Amino acid sequence: MYLEVSNIAAAINKNPYEPTELIYLILWARNDPKSLLKYLIDNDLIINHKIEEEEVDDEMTLAYENVIKNIDKKNFSTNDFTSTSNKIIEEYKKIRPNFKSDEIKKLETNIKSQIIKENGNIQETNIINNKKYQKGNNKIWYYHIGDHLIGGKHDANENNLVIEIKSRTNIKNVKKNEYDLCQLIGYLLCMNEKRGKIVQNFNKQIFDSNIENNKEYGIIDLNENRWNNYKDEMINKLEIFFEECENCIFNKKINLDKIYKFGKIADITIDGRLININNKYKKICDIINHSDLQ
């Protein structure tokens, strides 16, 4: 099985925003999408699409893309979130003049997560250019955990430092997050490097201290006992995660209590397509939609 470095924290229960069970579903989708689809339908997380309800995913995507392609990426910041969201909603209304109120509610929910992700990509590029880092994201790096793999593309390098860039949407979120630490150490393992740093950004203010303080970890050096021990503990927890994930897939059952709180995953059409997708489960639904389930 393969686990993205970005999902390590959730896999070992270090991400308060994403339950481990969500990562089980992603790996189950890759391993056996047909049985997962049946399981989610049987547990009312994917429901039959009502024919009288129109499909609007494509229109929502088009509205988003029409606005985003014209934003000023060099000067974009969290201050532009609200105005950008409003422009996307107005664009959607132009594309679909007979819209319904529940469509706008869904669009607003999707926009929020999409703009946060878009801002992250924009600020990552701006920081790399500003700090003159060597840009990454040109290769997937891997590390074996037993018979399984973790892997991903790192953001950047500065001399011998692996750089992980995090864009914050609120100054209160400029802080030491353990889930970011797990991701950075995951890249160090995959790249066979020893030293790295988490660089944070909020509205063009960059936090990149080499020394640990109340908001930053500083340089993470696996040659130091503290971080080497943390790395070893993380590997042990990943071994347990993969074993438990294999058992879930084999038994075709997981604890869905934490999944239900995010609501319905998607609708399924008569011809087997997943539509009206909950953005939280987009990766899972994309895997199922691109799988040959015949």
Binned average pLDDT, 10 residues per bin, the chain of 294 residues = 96 95 96 95 90 74 92 87 93 89 85 88 90 90 96 94 94 95 97 96 92 96 97 97 96 93 90 88 93 70
57-68 and 81-95 are packed helices; what angle lies between their axes, rounded to 10 degrees? Answer: 130
CA–CA separation, 84 and 102 (whole Å): 20
99-147 residue pLDDT tens: 888 888 888 888 888 898 888 888 899 999 989 999 997 899 999 999 9
Rounded to an integer, what distance in angstroms lies between the CA atom of residue 56 and that of residue 242?
A: 37
CB neighbours of residue 158 within 10 Å? 17
pLDDT of residue 45: 95
The model's pLDDT over 36-66, given as tens digits with 9 standing for 90+, comes to 999 999 999 999 887 656 678 888 899 999 9
Spell out the residues 6+ positions from residue 73 whose beta carbon is closer than 8 angstroms to its own: 122, 125, 126
In this structure, are residues 138 and 125 in contact, taking their beta carbons and an 8 Å threshold?
A: no
Single pTM value for the model: 0.88
* HSE value, Cβ hemisphere, 13 Å, CA-based, for 186: 30
The angle at the Cα of 169, spanning 167 to 173, to the nearest 5 degrees, equals 85
4's CB contacts (< 8 A; 6+ apart) are 150, 151, 152
How many beta carbons lie within 10 A of that of residue 210, not counting itself? 9
Q: Where are the alpha helices (DSSP H) in the chain?
A: 8-11, 20-31, 33-42, 57-68, 81-95, 101-131, 178-191, 225-251, 257-260, 282-289
CA–CA dist 18, 170 (Å, integer): 19
Residue 291, pLDDT score:
87
pLDDT at 79: 87
List the domain boundaries for the chain.
16-128+259-289, 134-240
Contact 283, 25 (CB under 8 A): no
CB-CB neighbours of 85 under 10 Å? 18
What number of CA atoms fall less than 13 Å from residue 267's CA on the CB side? 14
pLDDT of residue 90: 93
